[in-house]
Amino acid sequence: MKRSIVAVAALLFGTAAYAYQVTGPVLDVTDTKIVVEKGKEKWELARDKNTKGAKDIKKGDRVTIQYTMTATDIENKTPAKKDDKAKAAKADDKAKK
């Protein structure tokens, strides 16, 4: 149910990125990051002045964090071949019709 609410909120606000969440106890928190334990894994997420929510989070608190993943740089390691480009263009033309 909670995931559905997040998805609906993302649609309403026009967010193109997918919304995710992680829940667990806080292991460390600073002005620039928060570390949460999920199972046996430690999740370190960046935070800044635009991060919404409780400002008084402290070590040991149990939190649920909503986050998105956004690409900051993409490098093409294998450029498409001519045949691949032609197939992609054909498929794109069919999709437009």
Give the separation between CA 29 and CA 47, rounded to whole angstroms. Answer: 10
| CATH classification number, 21-68, choose in 2.60.40, 1.10.530, 3.40.50, 2.30.30 | 2.30.30
- Cβ count near 65 (within 10 Å): 19
- Cβ count near 43 (within 10 Å): 16
Give residue 6's pLDDT band: very low, low, confident or very high (50, 70, 90).
very low
pLDDT value at residue 64:
96
Mean pLDDT of 81-93: 73
Tokens 């400002």: give the residue. 55
* Mean pLDDT comparison of 1-5, 47-51, 62-66, highest-scoring range: 62-66
pLDDT in tens, 12-22: 455 556 889 99
pLDDT above 70 covers what percent of the chain? 77
Instruction: Give the long-range contacts of residues 6-14, CB within 8 A, separation 24 or more.
Output: 6/66
Q: What is the reported pTM?
A: 0.60
Helices and strands in the chain, H and E counts: 2, 4
pLDDT for residue 39 is more than 90: yes
